[in-house]
Structure 1
Amino acid sequence: MHAGYQQRNGYLGIATNEGLDCSVGRELILTQLEVSDLYGENDWEKAEIDAVLEVVQDLFYPVRKMFYADTDELKARYKKEFVDVQGPKYCGFLEKLLKANNGGDGFFVGSKVSLADIVVFAAVGDALGDKSRDYYLDHKEPKLKALIERIRAIPQINTWLQTRPKTEL
C-alpha cells in the first residue's frame, strides 16, 4: 500500500490511498510491522502477540482512570486501586503468558524479541516501572522482571532510554 500521511485535529493520523482515507490505528501499524519480523513469523505467533497486547491494553484502563480523574480524591483512590489490585493482577496475567513460552526464560513469542516484548517493556518496565513516579508499579513476577531487563539491555533501547526527552508517562 502506497499511502500519503497527514494529521487531522493535530493528533489523529490519516493514511490516504487512492483517494480513500483511513485512520492510522493499530491495524495499520501492525500491517507495517509485518514487513519487519517483530510481529511474528506466522498467524499463530501473531495471535499470541495480540493476546499480550490486549493484556497491556487492559492494564492501561485503570491507569487512564488514575490520570484523568476529575478530583484529587478520585485520583488517589484510583492510584491505590491500580497499585494494590489492578496492576498486580495484569502483571500476573503477563507472567503466565510469558511462562507459556519456554518456561518464561526467553520472550513472549518464539525465540526472539517481538512487538509483545517491546510493548510490555515500555508499559510495565518503563512507564509504570519508574521508581521516581508516584504510580510506580512494584510487580513481583520474576520472569517478567527478567524479561524487562533483557529488553532494557538491547543497545538501541538502552541508548534511547538515556537520550530521550522526559515526559509525564
Structure 2
Amino acid sequence: MPTQPTYELIYFTARGGGEISRLLFAQAGVEFKDTRLTQDEFKAVKGDVTRAPLGQLPVLIVKGTATPFPPIPQSHAIERYLARKFDMYGKNIEEATRIDVACECVVEIFTHIVKMFFEKDDAKKKELGKSFVEKDSKTVLTAMCNALKKNSGGKGFFVGDKMTLADIAVFHMTEAIFGSMPPLAAMYPALKDFSDRMRAEPKIAAWIKKRPVTQF
C-alpha cells in the first residue's frame, strides 16, 4: 500500500502569504505541520536551499511521494498545487481560469494592503487607506461582487457549485479588509455575506478557532 504524503508549511508567525494554504489544508481535512518562524529563526534557515530554495517564505515541503519532490517556494504556486491536489481547482479549464481571475483580483487588492501596512508615516497611511476605500479598490471589489452574484445569485460560491481556491482566497482577503477597514463591509454587502458564510463553514470555523491570533 502506498504511503500518504506528509506536508510541512513553513512561514512566519502571521497569516500573510501562508494563510490561504493553511485554509486549503483545513477545508480539505488534511493534516500538516504548521511551522511558524520568527525573523531570527528565518535568518538561520534562509541560506538552506533544502528548506528555503529561494531564500524566502512560504515554503511547502512534501514527503512520502513516489518520486523525490523538491521544496515548493512561492505562495501562489503552493496554493495552486494544494488546490489541484485537493480537488479545489474547478472541474475544467474554464472553471480553473475563472478561479485564476478571482485569485489575481485578490493579489491586486493585497498589493494596496501591503503598501498601507508597511507605511511608517501615519498621515500617509491614513491617506492611503482613504484612497483605497474610496477609489483604489472600487473596480475590483465591485467586479468580485458581480462575479459572485452571476454564479450563484450571491448565495453560493464564486465558481461552480462547491468551494474552490477562489473562495478561500477571497475569504482571506475579506478577513483583512473588513477587519482593518469596516466601512467596506457596508459598501459590498454581497462580499460581507459571503465572508460570513465562509467563516461559518465547519472546517473553516474550526481552523479559525485554533489558529494563533495575529494582526495580519
Would the alpha carbon gap of residues 156 and 32 (structure 1) be closer, same or farther in structure 2, given more than 3 Å must change?
closer
Report the counterpart of residue 117 of structure 1 in structure 2. Answer: 167
Superposed structure 1 runs of 4+ greater than 4 Å apart? 14-22
Superposition pairs of residues 133-144 of structure 1, within 5 angstroms: 133=180, 135-139=181-185, 140-144=187-191
What is the aligned-residue RMSD (CA, Å)? Answer: 2.9
Match of 1:156 in 2: 203
Deviation at 1:107, TM superposition (A): 0.8
Structure with more contact order per residue of length (Cα contacts < 8 Å, sep ≥ 6)? 2
What is the CA-CA distance between 1:102 and the residue it aligns to? 2.9
* In 2, Cα distance between equivalents of 1:93 and 1:101: 12
AA at the equivalent of 1:162: K
User: Partner of 2:51: helix, strand, or coil?
Assistant: strand
Paired with 1:61 and 1:137, the residues of 2 have a C-alpha distance of 19
Deviation at 1:89, TM superposition (A): 3.4
Q: How many residues align?
A: 164
Unaligned 5+ runs, structure 1: none
Mapped partners of 2:109, 2:73: distance in 1: 24
CA–CA separation in structure 1 for the residues paired with 2:199 and 2:60: 32
Q: Is 1:127 paired with 2:172?
A: no
Asked if the contact 1:87–1:137 (Cα under 8 Å) also holds between the matched residues in 2, the reply is no
Between the aligned residues of both structures, percent identity stands at 29
Change (3 A) 1:36 1:105: same
Match of 2:132 among 82, 86, 89: 82
Instruction: Give the Cα–Cα distance (whole angstroms) in 2 for the partners of residues 97 and 151 of structure 1.
Output: 17
SS at match of 1:44: helix
Q: Any unmatched runs of 5+ in structure 2?
A: 6-48
User: Which residue is equivalent to 1:38?
Assistant: 88
CA distance in 2, matches of 1:95, 1:19: 38
SS at match of 1:104: coil
How far apart, in 2, do the equivalents of 1:25 and 1:138 lie? 26
Question: When the two structures are superposed, what TM-score results if normalisation uses the length of structure 2?
Answer: 0.64
Partners of 2:151 and 2:92 in 1: CA distance: 15
| In 2: Cα distance, 1:88 partner to 1:42 partner | 30
**Cα separation, 2, equivalents of 1:90 and 1:96:** 10
Letter matched to residue 182 of structure 2: Y
Indicate whether 1:54 and 2:99 are aligned.
no
4-13 vs 115-124, greater mean Cα deviation: 4-13
Query: Are residues 150 and 81 of structure 1, via their aligned partners in 2, closer, same or farther at CA, if it must alter by over 3 Å?
Result: same
Normalised to the residue count of structure 1, the TM-score between the two structures is: 0.80
Residue 137 of structure 1: how far off its partner (Å)? 4.9
- Say if 1:53 and 1:116, in contact at 8 Å, map to a contact too: yes
User: Which whole-Å CA distance do the structure 2 matches of 1:73 and 1:20 have between them?
Assistant: 45
The one-letter code of the counterpart of 1:127 is: A
Q: Write the mapping of 1:62-101 to structure 2, written as runs, cut at 5 A.
A: 62-101=112-151
Give the CA deviation at 1:151.
0.9
Distance across 2 between alignment mates of 1:63 and 1:92: 17
* Distance change >3 Å, CA 157–CA 15, structure 1 → 2: closer
Q: C-alpha displacement at 1:43, in angstroms? A: 0.9
Q: Distance in 1 between matches of 2:91 and 2:142?
A: 26
